Amino acid sequence: MLLAEDNQVNQRLAVAVLERLGHKVRVARTGREALELIEQFSFDLVLMDVQMPEMGGVEATQLIRQREAQHGGHLPIVAMTAHAMAGDRERFLAAGMDEYISKPISQERLREVVRSLGRPAATGDGTPPQGPAPSGPADHGHPVLSLDREALLARVESDLDLLSTLLGVFKADRPKLMADIEEALVAGNAVALGEAAHTMKGALSVFGVEPARSLAEQLEMAGKHGRLEATRGLYEDLARAVVVAEDGLEAMLGELV
């Protein structure tokens, strides 16, 4: 199976779910990389992020379908999008995709889509490991942090090792994510700002932490619409909120382990 996804946190979550189902997974960070891997290897299904650097998922899918029109075959492609809106399914189907799932990824939905496309795993039954039962929202003494503890644990199916891994990936990646946003702001590059903030928002969405996620989204929208006024203040608010989010997640893990 091929996973085309540029966000490392989403990569780890999707790979963990697919491997738990018994699938072997290769990862591409761009639509162009996905095309190259499809030329080199045989896949039974592709999970294709819609928004990626260099080449997005829709364009990559259209190129795959053009090749199939010449050479035959049909590779099932599932769109992954952070903006599930009315009409999205029809738009993705028109582009040649077979189905779509919204992000942050729901393990139950991912299993449902993979199985519905007739791609059984070689091994494994997808049964999630047993873990501590979800509990209510925690108060870590900081009024800025909003963390839906129950929803987060449901997302990782109470797998604390997976949650710890995802948090570790985010913490390692966070300096570069923030640097990319700052560089775009300094350069006054609205397109780069939108792309960098989108990547940050995708990672934060996995954890469901507010206001960090919404601040990243505001920066993404500012970049998309070319409105760079007051974005420096948003960036500084995001930098503080991300640290608060990391501390809150660490504290939650500490309570549950």
Q: pLDDT per residue over 198-254, tens digit each?
A: 999 999 999 999 999 999 999 999 999 999 988 988 999 999 999 999 999 999 999
* Number of domains making up the chain: 2
Q: How many CB atoms lie within 10 A of CB 68?
A: 13
**Which run of H or E residues covers position 228?**
none
Is 122 within a domain? no
Is 129 within a domain? no
Q: Do 109 and 152 belong together in one domain?
A: no
Domain span at residue 239 reads: 146-256
Per-residue pLDDT of the chain (257 residues; tens, 9 = 90+): 999 999 899 899 889 888 888 889 999 999 999 999 999 998 989 999 988 888 999 999 999 999 999 988 999 999 998 766 667 778 888 889 998 888 888 888 888 888 888 555 444 444 443 333 333 333 333 436 898 999 999 989 899 999 999 999 999 999 999 999 999 999 999 999 999 999 999 999 999 999 999 999 999 999 999 999 889 889 999 999 999 999 999 999 999 97
Q: Do 112 and 9 belong together in one domain?
A: yes
Q: Provide the token pair at 16.
A: 């963990």
Q: Report whether 197 contacts 216 (CB < 8 A).
A: yes
Q: Do 26 and 105 belong together in one domain?
A: yes
Q: Do 212 and 250 belong together in one domain?
A: yes
Is 38 within a domain? yes
The model carries a pTM of: 0.76
Kindly give the residue spans of alpha helices, DSSP state H, lying in the chain: 8-20, 31-40, 57-71, 88-94, 107-116, 149-155, 160-187, 190-207, 212-224, 231-256
Which of these, 193, 197, 194, 176, lies nearest to 184 by C-alpha position? 193
Q: Do 61 and 103 belong together in one domain?
A: yes
Is 127 within a domain? no
Is 83 within a domain? yes
- Between the two ends of the chain, the Cα-to-Cα distance in Å is 33
